[in-house]
Structures are given as C-alpha cells and as structure tokens.
Amino acid sequence: MSTTERPRILIVGGGYVGLYAAMRILKKMRYGEATVTVVDPRSYMTYLPFLPEAAGGNVAPRNLVAPLRRVLQKAEVLTGHVTGVDHGRKVATISPLAGDSYELPFDYLVVAAGSVSRTFPIPGLAEHGIGMKTVEEAIGLRNHVMAQLDKAESTTDKDVRRQALTFVFVGGGFAGVETIAEVEDMARDAAKIYNTVSREDMRFILVEAANRILPEMGPDLGVWTKERLEERGIEVFLETSMESCVDKHVVLKNGVEADASTIVWTAGVKPNPVLASFGLPLGPRGHVDTAPTLQVKGFDNVWAAGDNAQVPDLAAGEGAWCPPNAQHAVRQAIVLGDNVISGMRGFPQAEYKHKNLGAVAGLGLHKGVAILFGKYKLKGRPAWWFHRLYHGSRVPTMNRKVRVFTDWTLAMFLKREAVGLAQMENPREAFYEAATPVPAPRSEKPLPEKVSS
C-alpha cells in the first residue's frame, strides 16, 4: 500500500459495481487527480451469471474471474475486509488477510460490498448445504456431483447408492433453475460412461416456496420452464419449503422425504452484514438507502449501488426499487463512476435511469428461455444462443471474452469432460498420509528371549 497526499476514492468491494466503477473512474479521472483504492477479500471479480455453467462444466473456472490487479493496474488493490467506517474522521478500518488491522483515510467512499446467501435456521442446512455465490462453490458442486456418481458405481449398498444419486435444489429463481438444469444436463451426459449408473437411477428435486419458478420471466414462461424441467425427470415442488436436512435426510413441508447426498441452497440473497458497521442509513431489509443519483442519503461523499443498495427504480414508478441483478449492477456502476468524478469536481449528479433489456436463463446445452425488452419471448435453442451471446459479451476484459467464446467453440466439436476432482477439496490429504510416520505393529505375544549359544 502506498501513501499519497492526493484525495483517496475508497471502493469497498471488487465485484460488479466495485470493478466497473473503478474502471470508469480511472478512465474519466485526470492524471494524478486522485488515488483509487479497492478493498475486497478476494483478489478477483467473479462473473456470477456463469456459475451454473461452471457447475455444469461448460465454462472453465479461470475464465469467469477477472484478476483485480491486472484489470485495475492504475489503482491500489488491497486484499482484505473493511470492518468499519468512521465518517467523522473519514477513515476506514482495514483487516488484511494477514497481519494487524489498520486505519485507511479516504475522501470519497463507494460501498459495493455486494450480498451473501440468505439462509434460515433450518436444522442440518449449515452442515450439509452447498451455496452458489462463489466460483469455489460452483466448482466444488461439480466435483461433488461427479464424486457421487463414482460412489454409486462402486458400492453394493442400495441405501448408499440411492442417497448418492439424489440431488435437492432449494430456490426456484435464476440461480436455482439454471444450476439444477446445468447439473442435470451434465449428470445425464456423464452417466453414459458408467456401467451401472443411468439417468433413471438419479433423482433431481427442485423446491420453491412461491407458486412459480423464474418469476422475473412472467407466469407463462415460468410454467413453460417448469414443464420442460419435468419432461427431463426433474421433480418441481411449488409452494413448499425444506423443513430440515439433518444427516442429509431432507424433509419438505409438503411431506416429501428423501435421503440426499447433495443439497444446494439458492433461495435468495441478502445485503452483506458488514454494512451494519458502516454508519450508513439502511432500508428495512438491510440495504444502503440511496437517492436516484446513487448518493447515500445524508452524505455528499458516499455512493452505493448493486446488491447492497436500495436504489429507486425511476422506470417502474414511485416506491419501486431496482432488483439485485447483474444487469442493474453493471449499468449503475457506470453512473456511479461518473457521479464520483462529478462530485469530486463540484458538478451536478446524474440520476440512474434504465430501460429494461429483459432476462435470459440457460437450461443446459442448447436449452434456454428469454424475454427481450419486456415483450419478445424466446424458448429453446434460440434463447440459449441469445443467453450465451449476451453474457459472453458482458464478461469483463477482452481476454476473458476470447477465452469463453473459444471454450464454447471447442465444445461444439469435442465431448464434455465427465471428470470430477473431488480431492481438490483436501489437496494435502495424500501428502499428509505419506509424511505421517506409520507406527510399528505391536505383537500380541511377547517375543521369546534370545538364547545365547
């Protein structure tokens, strides 16, 4: 970390808003006008819409992350947490990955801490649930699913086999539907190389508390998606919830019970809890309360956007808020970056307004659903192509765009890799066993005394 007398723009979070806002500020800022500092516990930004495809093996994990230090070469990037903010003194408390915490002064603050998984006190969930908010979770899920197929192929115990081949997904939004669709597609394809495991042996369950899935798509496309999933053998239970999953025994509110080795939780997100220590006004659900200019109410040097912000949706009318999705986060970041520069120079702030571009969802290879500009509806392969075209174009940096489209192009001619690397979860285990001294075996009977000749 360098020291400087220039004004500091401190950006908390290196996700969508943090990365794109920093890129915008660096682009618009005059040389030497300010120092941009980005703080995030990870040294990379993750393109979240690709997590389901990563879980399905269609996107390599390295291609859905952008290293912050490479992308933001003119900024300071600190790997750690911002644990508190003192607005009176204009200092933030930084907790690095190693070493003691310290205070960092700032002049302008951008709050882009994002969100975390929204969970409930369900017995067994913390012990056995798998989230889908990080690239590590997505790759871990893929490796875990492939390990279950290996386990089922190798055991003669019917109960163990049944549990290994039962997969429960909780949450019928974009994350849940896309993830179960991609994983089922991968498992169906992978089963072809197993002798005793087929798709008919597997059980996939999708649980949603509302009365439909993909609510952002509208009721008709939600019904169409549910029917397509059921045609693939996926059980979809609406208006129900998971009551417990102790010892991986899943109990649903509608009475359905199943032993499942895989329990994936995608039932929504909530603002990062660290916001409570930032001394900012929060809305009823914990979001930072902002004006349409993305300025935090009551502050002229603090801005917020994305999943952790309550941003008025001027296009939807009074009282409406922008939903927490990537489409809004990226576009808000551009306005936010411009407003930080304007605020620093004493110019008026611009309001965030948007036109709805629609929504897209991938449902496995060559399958998808989309609604464009709120009225044009696509299903099947055309929607899948649009899904890939849109998200491929949104991946940050040209380097990642080229890599992603290259992977997709090669996949048209090469078979999907049906291999899981479950040992990646504990990579040192084999070395530890090899390096641990093996105790000498003890004889049950005492050895006879040596007789001298």
d(CA 260, CA 246): 10
Q: How far is CA 207 from CA 230, 254, 356, 368, in A?
A: 13, 10, 28, 20
**For 144-155, what is the mean pLDDT?**
93
Least confident of 270-279, 336-345, 387-396: 387-396
Least confident of 96-100, 110-114, 163-167, 214-218: 214-218
**pLDDT at residue number 263:** 95
Check residues 187 and 407 and name the one with the higher pLDDT.
187
Least confident of 71-75, 163-167, 202-206, 421-425: 421-425
**For 70-76, what is the mean pLDDT?**
93
d(CA 107, CA 8): 5
Contacting residues for 280 by C-beta, under 8 A, at least 6 apart? 85, 111, 288, 289, 296, 299, 302, 304
Q: What percent of the chain has pLDDT over 90?
A: 57
Q: Yes or no: say if 225 and 361 are a contact pair by the CB < 8 Å rule.
A: yes
pLDDT band of residue 400 (cuts 50, 70, 90) is confident
pLDDT band of residue 180 (cuts 50, 70, 90) is very high
Q: Count Cα neighbours of 272 within 13 Å in the Cβ-side half-sphere.
A: 25
d(CA 203, CA 163): 9
Give me the residues paired with residue 290 across strands: 296
pLDDT band of residue 2 (cuts 50, 70, 90) is very low
Question: Residue 116's closest CA among 297, 265, 245?
Answer: 265
Least confident of 108-122, 142-156, 202-216, 373-387: 373-387
**For 382-392, what is the mean pLDDT?**
86
Q: What is the pLDDT of residues 347-367, one digit of tens each?
A: 999 998 887 777 888 898 888
pLDDT band of residue 373 (cuts 50, 70, 90) is confident
Least confident of 43-52, 112-121, 155-164, 385-394: 385-394
- pLDDT(423) > 70: no
Q: How far is CA 417 from CA 50, 146, 193, 367, in A?
A: 17, 11, 11, 19
**pLDDT at residue number 453:** 40
H-helix or E-strand spanning residue 269: strand 269-271
How many other β-carbons are positioned within 10 Å of the β-carbon of residue 33? Answer: 15
**For 314-321, what is the mean pLDDT?**
78
**pLDDT at residue number 447:** 54
**For 124-146, what is the mean pLDDT?**
92
- pLDDT(94) > 50: yes
**pLDDT at residue number 417:** 67
Token pair, residue 196, equals 């005793």
pLDDT band of residue 372 (cuts 50, 70, 90) is confident
pLDDT band of residue 443 (cuts 50, 70, 90) is low
**pLDDT at residue number 324:** 77
Q: What percent of the chain has pLDDT over 70?
A: 94
**pLDDT at residue number 413:** 76
- pLDDT(387) > 90: no
- pLDDT(449) > 60: no
- pLDDT(124) > 60: yes
- pLDDT(434) > 50: yes
- pLDDT(179) > 90: yes
Q: What is the pLDDT of residues 82-92, one digit of tens each?
A: 999 999 999 99
Q: Rounded mean pLDDT of the chain? A: 88
Burial tier of 195 (Cβ tally within 10 Å: 0-12, 13-18, 19+):
exposed
**pLDDT at residue number 3:** 47
Q: What is the pLDDT of residues 280-307, one digit of tens each?
A: 999 888 899 999 999 999 999 999 998 8
**pLDDT at residue number 419:** 65
- pLDDT(12) > 70: yes
How many other β-carbons are positioned within 10 Å of the β-carbon of residue 255? Answer: 8
Angle at 305 between CA 304 and CA 309, to 5 degrees: 80
